Amino acid sequence: MSKLTLDRILQSQGFGTRKYCRGLVEDGEVSINGEVVDSIKTSFDTTDFEFTIFEEVWRYREHVYIVLNKPANFECSRKPSHHPGVLTLLPEQFTWRDLQPVGRLDHDTTGMLLMSDDGPFIHAQSSPKRHIPKVYVATTHDPVTPELIALLLGGVQLHDEPAPLAAQTCRMLGDHQIEIVLEQGKYHQVKRMLAAAGNHCSALSRVAIGELALESLGLEEGEWVYLDAAQLALLRAVADA
């Protein structure tokens, strides 16, 4: 349990500088349980604390953990260079909170992207030492063959890797589609493995991380959701295994 004044609460939740947040309170922009609070002297217990600002209800969160169903042509960067950044799909407050993508998806890759402002969580989920399985659905240029599946399972050599890289699992979903599960998380790994196996990736989507599947969240492309305690436990269990 912690107690904070309302201006400090707003600042911690990404509504701006301390001075700006103090002004929001004193201007009567913040209410609690339907009552405007315009004093910065009172401290509030942040446990399950909710407040309304600009007619929108927010719950105090020490850290933010979300899943975004990333559309194509968005960059997983706070300083994008050629396409809009994924943070433009989220409330502005998340930028102030220093929300970060957990790992990266290429600008043209869609699907499940974790984001958080919790440094240890980001490190645990993105560290290659944790061997967290990530599930992708790849659409191929040429037809999928048993030989292609066998090559991906057996390991293919990439020009800048010391040893062949193999899929944890790989199965055919359709004439031009496979599901492939990887643990390594190398740069452009699915695309490069398909190329090394003699095919070409024409579309790619990440559909699950560990035991958490994107389908279970019911998100359309561009939509996001806070992770609940059970979903976070699924992610952390795999990272700690």
pTM equals 0.90
Query: Which residue, chain included where needed, has tokens 């066998």?
Result: 150
Residue 117: active-site member? no
The whole-angstrom separation of Cα 239 and Cα 131 is 8
| Catalytic annotation, pick one of 38, 106, 118, 160 | 106
Domains of the chain, with CATH numbers? 3-59 (3.10.290.10), 65-128+212-240 (3.30.70.580), 133-209 (3.30.70.1560)
Burial of 150-170, coded b for 16+ CB within 10 Å and e otherwise, reads ebbeeebebeeeeeebbbeeb
* Pair of tokens at residue 2: 């912690």
DSSP secondary structure letter of residue 128: G
pLDDT tens for the chain, 241 residues: list them.
588 999 999 999 999 999 999 999 999 999 999 999 999 888 999 999 999 998 899 999 999 999 999 999 999 877 777 889 999 999 999 999 989 999 889 899 999 999 999 999 999 998 877 789 999 999 999 999 999 999 999 999 998 888 899 999 999 999 999 999 998 878 889 999 999 999 999 999 999 999 999 999 999 999 999 999 999 998 988 767 5
